Homo-oligomer: A and B are copies of this chain.
Amino acid sequence: MRQTLDFLLNDWLRVEQLNTRARFAEHSAETYGAVLDLAEKLAREKFAPYNRLADQQEPHFDGERVHLPEPTHAAMRAYAESGLLAASQDEAWGGMQLPCVIEMAAQSFISKASVAMSGYAMLTQGNANLLMAHGSARQREVFARREFEGRWFGTMCLSEPQAGSSLSDIATRAEPDGADFEQDPLGPRYRLRGHKMWISGGEHEMSENIVHLVLAKIPGPDGQLVPGTRGISLFIVPKQIVDASGELSGERNDVVLAGLNHKLGYRGTSNCLLNFGEGRFTPGGRAGAVGYLVGRPGEGLKCMFHMMNEARIGVGLGAVMLGYAGYEASLEYARQRPQGRAMTAAGKDAASPQRPIIEHADVKRMLLAQKSYVEGGLALALFCARLVDELHTAEPEAAAEAGRLLEVLTPIAKSWPSEWCLEANSLAIQVLGGYGYTRDFPVEQYWRDNRLNMIHEGTHGIQGLDLLGRKVVMEGGRALLTLAGRINKSIEAALQRPGLSELAHGLAAALARLGRATKDAWASGQPEEALANATPYLQAFGHVVLAWIWLELALAVEGVDSDFAQGKRAAARYFHAYELPKIEAWLAVVSRREALCREMQDAWY
């Protein structure tokens, strides 16, 4: 994988160009390489060997505490000590001032080694990054700093048992805590009461404190909660009460574990139902979880989306790396497992020795499919991270363009790997056959772990609505046009290379087809008609984006004669030959605004 990563970063994304910018001026190919070395070593030594253990010894609650296996503690300690938690922060904050794209490349090793064990770190980083963007100076100093140091961990508390995809229905209440509630140095102080569901890292004993970022509603003057998402505000609710300087007061906040969820996979990350304000603890002498407002009242969702967009790309990367882990495991297996013989016109010679299964066309197909999914997915994740760097450090016009591309690509970066790198994991099981179905090999766990990714941080259906309902129509379709412009540039470049013109023509046709379907979907102007087939649209859009990514990678190895370059060309051809043609089936129903599903009646099932 390292060779592919280096290729993507250096030959394709040209990360060295970032070093001309003030923020990254201290960096070089050497410092980037050192960070990747560090992450690779950390992943190999502290995460990978315990990934199965973290699955087998899932978190358990003894009524008082949540227990995780000791290697998870050790891995998180090592992660914190590595400095990677603050990798992209300012040096003044103890950070490395790394580009986001390098941070994500480093993260890819950790995610591949154990996506579940590393979940705590991802959440803590996302949480602290949000506070850096929206918190007050004191909130950053008290909470974010300790998170970057790995002393405190973070969570994001959005869903409730009755409100998952529909966040406008959250019922957690936040009421001003006393007459002086606005004078607290940590921020306007409220008392929260409610229940939060699916909280990853919601309880454990790995850190001195847990910083919950909680969405809740401040009642109006009539004591009622405002319907809709506009009523939602964001609060810091620390597990342990802290004073204004960030010292633990020794008092426990009124946020309590109600129960652990027992999952299909991803078991290394504890997942919790949390009760806020039920009176189990009484900070300051009374019930109610103490929380500090972040940003302004009613802007909670906007702030949270800062974290969610990052989290969505992170989910996509996690899905990719699970796929990558399965690809590597099945490739290794296929190289050493003898079974069957070559198929020839003369039949098979049963007396000859068996051949490694990697020599069979169908096994090659399954490996090539995986390669195209996972390397393509990794390229997409890094491309998005590179856009984040553009957004933050490029000239205004380029930054704005990067921002638009990010808007339209985020639903793809999240959903496409969740679906196709899961399929990669299924193919990895298939390559191993019966052995792949046992817990003696790692591939079944990857498949179980990966199934979460189409669900959390916005389901597949939600991503489709976001893409077709918001992203491709916003600003009169400007983001989509920006993406199409980029794709067309790649097509034009590829048309100059004889070996790539077929792929270029195929992609041009697919892009035109996607554009037509987008128009057709909205031709009647009725959202319920356009969006009834938002998921097939999402699937087709994702395949077009990946076909473009693969054309880009084929361009990047154009003229290179090596096994590595041949592999990239083969994967590009695979994606264009076997995958891209699938879009027609998805887009046909989009284009004719197929009404079958929305007209289906409950009684007919």
How does the 8 Å CB contact mask read for A545-585 relative to B, with 1 for contact and 0 for none? 00000000000000000011011001001100111011011
Contact A350 B168 (CB under 8 A): yes
How does the 8 Å CB contact mask read for A429-472 relative to B, with 1 for contact and 0 for none? 11001101111100010011001101110011100110000000
Contact B600 A434 (CB under 8 A): no
Q: Of B361, B536, B581, which contacts A532 at CB under 8 A?
A: B361
* Chain A facing B: main interface SS: helix
Q: Does A49 sit at the interface, judged by CB under 8 A?
A: no
Query: How far, in Å, is A341 (CB) from chain B's closest CB?
Result: 8
Q: Of B162, B364, B451, B525, which contacts A598 at CB under 8 A?
A: B364
How does the 8 Å CB contact mask read for A571-605 relative to B, with 1 for contact and 0 for none? 00110011101101100110000101110111111
Residues of B within 8 A of A339 (CB): 163-166, 169
Query: How far, in Å, is A236 (CB) from chain B's closest CB?
Result: 24
A532 and B343 CA atoms in complex are apart in Å by: 10
Q: List 23 A-B contacts (CB under 8 A).
A: A165-B339, A166-B339, A227-B351, A228-B351, A262-B438, A264-B437, A264-B439, A331-B605, A342-B528, A343-B527, A345-B526, A362-B465, A364-B597, A368-B596, A430-B459, A437-B451, A566-B603, A570-B604, A577-B588, A577-B594, A578-B589, A578-B594, A585-B585
A444 and B163 CA atoms in complex are apart in Å by: 21
Residues of B within 8 A of A567 (CB): 603-605
A338: nearest chain-B partner, CB-CB: B162
Contact A455 B434 (CB under 8 A): yes
Contact B440 A451 (CB under 8 A): no
Contact B604 A361 (CB under 8 A): no
Contact A439 B335 (CB under 8 A): no
A422: nearest chain-B partner, CB-CB: B426
A527: nearest chain-B partner, CB-CB: B343
How does the 8 Å CB contact mask read for A126-164 relative to B, with 1 for contact and 0 for none? 000000000000000000000000000000000100111
Residues of B within 8 A of A579 (CB): 585
A327: nearest chain-B partner, CB-CB: B605
Query: How far, in Å, is A424 (CB) from chain B's closest CB?
Result: 13
Q: Does A391 sit at the interface, judged by CB under 8 A?
A: no
Contact B362 A464 (CB under 8 A): yes
Q: Does A358 sit at the interface, judged by CB under 8 A?
A: yes
List residues 158-212 of chain A with CB under 8 A from any CB of chain B: 159, 162-166, 168-169, 197-198
Contact A434 B159 (CB under 8 A): yes
Q: Does A229 sit at the interface, judged by CB under 8 A?
A: yes
